[in-house]
Amino acid sequence: MAFTIVQICNLALNEIGQVPIASIDDADNKNARNCKLLYEPTKNKLISTYKWNFAMARKTLAQLASTPAFGYLYQYQLPSDCLRAWEVYGSNSKWIIEGDALLCDDVSINLRYIKKIDDPNLFTTIFVDCLVLDLSFLLAIPITNDRALQELLLERFRISILDAFALNAIEGHLEADDELEDTSWVKEGRVG
């Protein structure tokens, strides 16, 4: 199913009993202002927390002319759309991210990374469900000031995200050393 940012925001507003918005850019509408403030960082945070299949990308990185001052032999430019480096593919070498560069001793780097996705048409339905619940959790206090509603949304998010992780994990063959991300942050309520 195709989604728009406004539809996702309206689904989140519906979760907290609010009327829909026509545009996220309506500066005169409190709900639109809150959605505009929270949508992008919430979406990027949620994408970067897990290896969502729709957001995974691969790229051979360009080696930078400058070298690290110490500790590593080379540095490589990260892709501009990289939210989080996932793995240096085919290497057992140590590596680290510093700023917008990956530092490593390997002479070439094939990076698997979590890519920033701006087009909501690329999101899976289950991801949208999680995003709606996470966004509604964050909108609940500034719009309704209802802590009980926020707690209910948090519990629904926890269930939804664990279901989403399970569904995402079965879309392909996991290698023996490819484990699911630690989800203790969900169980402990560190969301939003």
pLDDT score of 182: 52
What b-and-e string marks burial along 31-67, b requiring 16 or more CB atoms within 10 Å of the CB? bbbbbbebbeebbbebbbbbbbeebebebebeeeeee
Confidence band for 147, pLDDT divided at 50, 70 and 90: very high
Q: What is the pLDDT of residues 35-47, one digit of tens each?
A: 999 999 999 999 9
Q: Is the pLDDT of residue 153 over 80?
A: yes
The pLDDT tens digits of the residues spanning 90-139 come to 999 999 999 999 999 999 999 999 999 999 999 999 999 999 999 999 99
pLDDT in tens, 31-85: 999 999 999 999 999 999 999 999 999 999 999 999 999 999 999 999 999 999 9
Look-up of token digits 């399970």: 166
pTM of structure: 0.84
What does the pLDDT read at residue 169?
83
pLDDT of residue 37: 98
| Residue 88: φ, ψ to 5° | -90, 105
Cα–Cα distance between 26 and 114 in angstroms, integer? 31
* DSSP letter string, 82-141: EEEEEEETT--S-EEEETTEEEES-SS-EEEEEEP---GGGS-HHHHHHHHHHHHHHHII
Predicted local confidence at residue 171, as pLDDT: 74
Say if residue 176's pLDDT is above 50: no
pLDDT, position 179 = 45
Give CA–CA dist 86/10, Å, rounded: 32
Distance CA(115)–CA(78), nearest Å, equals 11
Is residue 174's pLDDT more than 60? no
Tokens of 148: 């009980």
Pairwise pLDDT comparison (132 vs 2), residue with the higher score = 132
